[in-house]
Every structure is written in structure tokens, then in C-alpha cells.
Chains A and B, each alone.
Chain A
Amino acid sequence: MNHINQEQLVDYLHRGLAPEDDAMVHAHLDACAPCRLAYQDEASLSEALRANARNEIRELPSGVVASIWAAIAAARRRESLADRLLTWLRPAVLVPAMAVVVLALLLVPRFAQSPPSQTIDASYYLQDHAALGSTMPFADSDQVPEALENDDEGQTSVVAVMPAVMMADVAP
């Protein structure tokens, strides 16, 4: 086999050869000392170039970074209200937002119309019956007040009652 030329060595180093050519060069380098020496020279040169390139990379000066961010902020301030509105009117934002609004319009009236969870304790009726009946002769004034009686159940019998005299001039 002829020796490997310079072009083939460079391509081999950068994995640019076809698989069969790559296999052939690899086998040749195992068997041919002069070509292997040439390969090592070429590899050393490539590594030296990479090392030099790494050394050339420098951090961007902090003043430059600050000036870039300042320029971005100034650009945002200059953005008009219309531009922002157009941003919100993008279909990706507008469609889900409209869906939420429609859902709310459908559901809110239902909750608004549902009756408040008001009840009147059964104990209120028993107490009011006893109170109004207290004008009857020999009424049972001896009955235990509900507020004391319900100790075991932990139930409170205190209810807010506005008497009739306070309601007389209140429109229904």
C-alpha cells in the first residue's frame, strides 16, 4: 500500500473519511512507522492549534454587559401600549382568556341565584311557642330552657331574632 498523504491524514484526524477509508488508514497506521510518525506530527499540530484557540477566549468586560442590559431596558420602555395590547391579543393568549370569561359568565349567575344557606333551628320554634304561650293560664313555665338543655349535643340554641315591633315599619 502506498503511504498516506497529508490530506488523508488531516481528514482522518477530523473523522472526515468514509468508513472503509477510515478503516484502511487505521490499519495502515498500525503497520507503517513513517506514516504513524507523520500522523503524530499532524495530531500534535492540531492540539497545539486548539490550545492556542482556547487561550484566545476572554471574558466580556462588565461595562459592556451593563451597557447591553441598559439598551434592552430602554427598548422595552419605548414599547407602546398598542404593542403590548397586540401582544395580549395573540391567539395563544386570547383564546384561553376568552374561554375563561365565557365559563365565568355561565357559572356566576347560577351561584348568585342559589339560596343562601339560612336555616331556623327547631329549638327556636319550641322556644317561641313557649314564649307566646306564656300568657295562657297554667302554661308550662317549668320547662328547661333549650340553651341549657343541649349541653350534651354541643348545640347552641341562640338565634338572632328581631321582635315584631322592630319589623312593623320594614317593607317586606
Chain B
Amino acid sequence: MLHRNLRTVFGLLCASLFWIAVAPADNPSLVLQLAMDAPAHVSFVGEVQDLEIGDSKSVATIYRIEHRAPDLTQRWYEAPQALYGDSVISRGNVSYNVDVKRGRVIVNRNDAIDDQVAIADNFGLLTQNYRVFFAPDQTVAGLPARVLFLVNKHTGETTMRVWIDRKTSLVLQKERYASNGSLTSQVRFEQIRYTSAIPAGVFAVPTGLPRSDGQNHALPSNDITAMVKAAGFKARGPSYLPDGFVPVAGDLSDVNGIRTLHLLYSDGIRTASLFQNARGIAANFAGYAPRGVAVGGARGQFVQEGATTLLTWQGSGGLSFTLVGDMSRDELVKIAASV
């Protein structure tokens, strides 16, 4: 009897050790989480192709990338021609957009990048709304990669596929899909080489070019109620959101003297931002080609930038709304009409 119990205990112990040793590799959620953290540990140089596909306009860019873990990155654009020679140097939460044609550097700061709590919360939201499972391995940029499908639990639609390097857990390719299954964006390494010998000078911001401040984003708040109260006007929210969407963050900014409330909704992958101001100030579409669209009983305008759609309309009480989301125009209009 004792011998049998010992055998059972030994068996359970072995099973536990086996699970501990094997589980991370076979648990798709854990593989996904390791992939999220990989850039903080892995340094590399490579070439990336980014494709953003919209209904009426698609944008393709090719850039060379140098990344030194944990947080130094340079993207040097090779195509399209209008971007050739421009670069973005990221040093932690500060990024420098080096515009060689205009001879200037625009400095942006985004504290949200360091918000580890929000990142962990949002990963929880993702696993709550998406089922993650493996597909057969593939090769990307000459490296063997695990393929993960992220399927929306509410709709059963595949929203994202990621190709993760078996050795380093770095995401080598990522594709996103619209609700009708069409591809909306693809980012993939064409070449990659891992190295820890990237000199810090690579990430030095060029001197001699005038610098100007771009956007500064403070740490966003996840206390939506307090944010809405602080807005100083009777803010509104949508009564309809796609399944799984919840408000996740907000910020309150003074944009060109206009107090603007920004609420971000997400299901862990897809996002929608609702902006509103009480001054009736609409968006300035200079440089874009907006088109008209009906939003409930109001008349709105929208533009598509790759996979992202921007929709604006005037509400009652002098409120002006702008909705931005990586989803189709029809989905955004449905949300907008419920505000």
C-alpha cells in the first residue's frame, strides 16, 4: 500500500516537473506573453516590411531596424521615396522623428509605453476575449517560427496571427484581419540578425538640426469616472460597443487651447478612441480627403489611413466628437450613432 502511494506521489511529482518544463512551450498564452516581453531582452538588426491596407488607400513602408535591449530602437526608412532617409529614434518613452528633408527633429514623449500595469491588464483583457492556439510552424526570414492564431471568443473570427521565433520569442511576423476576414495589416521581418554588439552611438540623435516639441502624452488614467468628471463638460459615451470592448484608459488634454477628452475602448487587440470637446470644434482635415457619412441623424465625415478609420460628427449641446479605430467604417458608424 505504502509502495503504491509512493508510486502515486512520484508520478504526480514527475507530471508536475514535466508540466513545468514543457508547459511554457506548449501553452499558447504563455508563448504569447513571452513574445510581448522579448524586445526587452533581445537585441537585433534587420529589415522590416510594413503593410497597412485600407478600403481606399494602402500604405507600404520598408525600414531598417536596429534594436538594443531593453529600449533603444532606430527605424531608418528605405521606402517609400517620400520617407527615404528619415528615421525614428526611440529612447525609452521619448522618440525623435528625424526629418532630413525639412532639416528638423520632432521630439515626442509617451509615458504610456512604460505603464507596465496597464500592459499587464490589457494582456488579461486579450486572453479574456480571445482564444489563442497554435498552428503548424513556419519559417520567417529564415528562422523557424511558431504560429499563433488569436480568435475572438464572441464572434469566432480570427483577428490576429503572429509568428514567433522559437529561439528568442521575438515576433517575426504579425497579421491582423477585419471582421470579414480580410487582411488589414501585415508586419514582417525580411531579414534579421541577433546581436548584442550594437554601439550606443547608433541611437544618438543627430546634432545640428533644430528640435521642436511634438506631442507629449502623460501617463493615461484608467479611472474613467474621474476623468469624465474632470472634463468640465457633460461628456458622453457610446451605448453600443462590439462584444468584449470595455473602457481601458483616458486622458484629458488641452489641444490648441481646446479641452479635449479622450477615452480608449478595447477588447485587448482592437481599439477605438472617442474624442470629444464642448466647443463644437471639428477636426481640421487639411492634407486629407474626407468623405461624408450619416451618423444617426447627423452628418459626419471620415477618412481612412491604412487600417485606421477616423470619423467626426457634431453632437447636440455643442459637443464635437471624433472616433478613431482600427476597424471598418461601418463598425465605427454603429458605435458613433450610439453616443
The judgment on whether A and B are partners is: yes
Residues of A within 8 A of B (CB): 115, 118-129, 131-140, 142-145, 147-153, 155, 157-168, 170-172
Beta-carbon contacts under 8 Å, B99-121 to A: 99, 101-102, 106, 108, 110, 112-113, 115, 118-119
**Across the interface, do A147 and B214 meet the contact criterion of CB distance under 8 Å?**
yes
| CB <8 Å contact, A125 and B273 | yes
Question: Is the pair A136, B269 in contact by a Cβ cutoff of 8 Å?
Answer: yes
- What string of 1s and 0s marks CB contacts (under 8 Å) between B158-184 and chain A? 001010000000010010000000000
A132-B262, A167-B259 are contacts. A120–B97 as well, Cβ < 8 Å? Answer: no
**Would you list the 10 A-B pairs with minimal beta carbon distance, nearest first?**
A172-B232, A163-B218, A119-B284, A162-B254, A155-B287, A129-B273, A129-B324, A135-B118, A153-B287, A164-B252
Is the Cβ of A131 less than 8 Å from the Cβ of B185? no
Q: Residue of A at shortest CB range from B174?
A: A138
Q: A145 touching B160 by the CB < 8 A rule?
A: no
Residues of B within 8 A of A165 (CB): 218-219
Residue from A155, A158, A167 in contact with B213 in the complex, judged by beta carbons closer than 8 Å: A158
How near does chain B come to A20, taking the closest CB pair, in angstroms?
90
Query: Interface majority SS on B: helix, strand, loop or mixed?
Result: strand
* A126 CA / B322 CA spacing, docked (Å): 10
Alpha-carbon distance A163/B260, docked complex (angstroms): 10
Given A152-B82, A158-B106, A163-B253, A125-B269 contact (CB < 8 Å): no
| Bound-state Cα–Cα, A168 to B232, Å | 11
Instruction: Please indicate which of the listed interface residues A148, A153, A159, A172 has the most CB atoms of chain B within 10 Å of its own CB.
Output: A148
Point out the residues of chain B lying under 8 angstroms from A161, CB to CB. 215-217, 253-255
Which A residues are in CB contact (< 8 Å) with B269? 136-138
A124 to B82 CA separation, bound complex (whole angstroms): 21
B112 touches A128 (CB 8 A): no
B220: interface (CB < 8 Å): yes
- Other-chain residue from B83, B260, B322 in contact with A151 (beta carbon distance below 8 A): B83
CA separation between A157 and B97, bound complex, in Å? Answer: 12
Q: What residue in chain A is nearest B61 (Cβ atoms)?
A: A144
Q: A125-B322, A148-B88, A161-B253 are in contact. List 5 more A-B contacts (CB 8 A).
A: A122-B285, A122-B287, A140-B185, A148-B77, A162-B254
Which chain B residue has the least Cβ–Cβ distance from A140?
A: B185
- The answer for the CA separation of A128 and B113 in the assembled complex, in Å, is 13
| Residue in chain A with minimal CB distance to B93 | A134
A158 CA to B107 CA, complexed, in Å? 10
Task: Decide yes or no: A118 and B257 within 8 Å by CB, A125-B324, A147-B99 being known contacts.
Answer: yes
Contact pick for B271, options A127, A129, A168, CB 8 Å: A129
Given contacts A142-B187, A164-B253, A172-B231, contact A131 B217 (CB under 8 A): yes
Binding site for A on B (CB under 8 A): 32, 36, 48, 50, 52, 59, 61, 75, 77, 82-83, 86, 88, 95, 97, 99, 101-102, 106, 108, 110, 112-113, 115, 118-119, 122-123, 126, 160, 162, 171, 174, 185, 187, 212-221, 227, 230-233, 248-260, 262, 264, 266, 268-269, 271, 273, 275, 277, 279-288, 290, 303, 305-308, 310, 312, 322, 324-326
* Contact, CB under 8 Å: B281 / A135: no
- In the complex, are the beta carbons of A136 and B284 less than 8 A apart? no
CB contacts (< 8 Å) of B283 on chain A: these are 119-122, 125
Given A136-B268, A144-B83, A165-B218, residue A120 in contact with residue B308 (CB < 8 A)? no
A144 engages B77 (CB within 8 Å): yes
Is the Cβ of B255 less than 8 Å from the Cβ of A120? yes
Q: How far is the CA of A8 from the CA of B271 in the complex (A)?
A: 119
Residues in B with CB closer than 8 Å to A120 are 255-256, 258, 260, 277, 281, 283-284, 322
Q: Contact check, B99 vs A140: say whether CB atoms are below 8 A apart.
A: no
Q: Chain A contacts of B108 at CB under 8 A?
A: 145
- Shortest C-beta distance, B216 to chain A (Å), equals 5
Q: A128-B217, A151-B102, A160-B256 are in contact. Are A137 and B273 (CB under 8 A)?
A: no
Q: Which residues of A contact B59 (CB under 8 A)?
A: 144
B99: chain A residues within 8 A (beta carbon): 147-148, 151
Q: Given A132-B264, A143-B306, A151-B101, does the pair A137, B123 have CB atoms closer than 8 Å?
A: yes
Given contact pairs A138-B269, A161-B215, A164-B218, A128 touches B262 in the complex (Cβ within 8 A): yes
Which of B77, B256, B308 has its CB near the most chain A CB atoms (within 10 A)? B256
Q: Is the CB of B251 within 8 A of A132?
A: yes
> How distant is A101 from chain B, measured CB to nearest CB, in Å?
33
Are B310 and A167 in contact, with the CB atoms below 8 A?
no
B157 to chain A, nearest CB (A): 17
CB neighbours (8 Å) of B253 from chain A are: 128, 161-164, 167
Docked-complex contact B217 and A163, CB < 8 angstroms = yes
18 of the cross-chain contacts (CB-CB < 8 Å) are: A120-B322, A122-B284, A122-B285, A131-B215, A132-B273, A133-B266, A135-B115, A136-B271, A137-B123, A137-B268, A138-B162, A140-B185, A140-B307, A143-B306, A145-B97, A152-B82, A164-B218, A164-B251
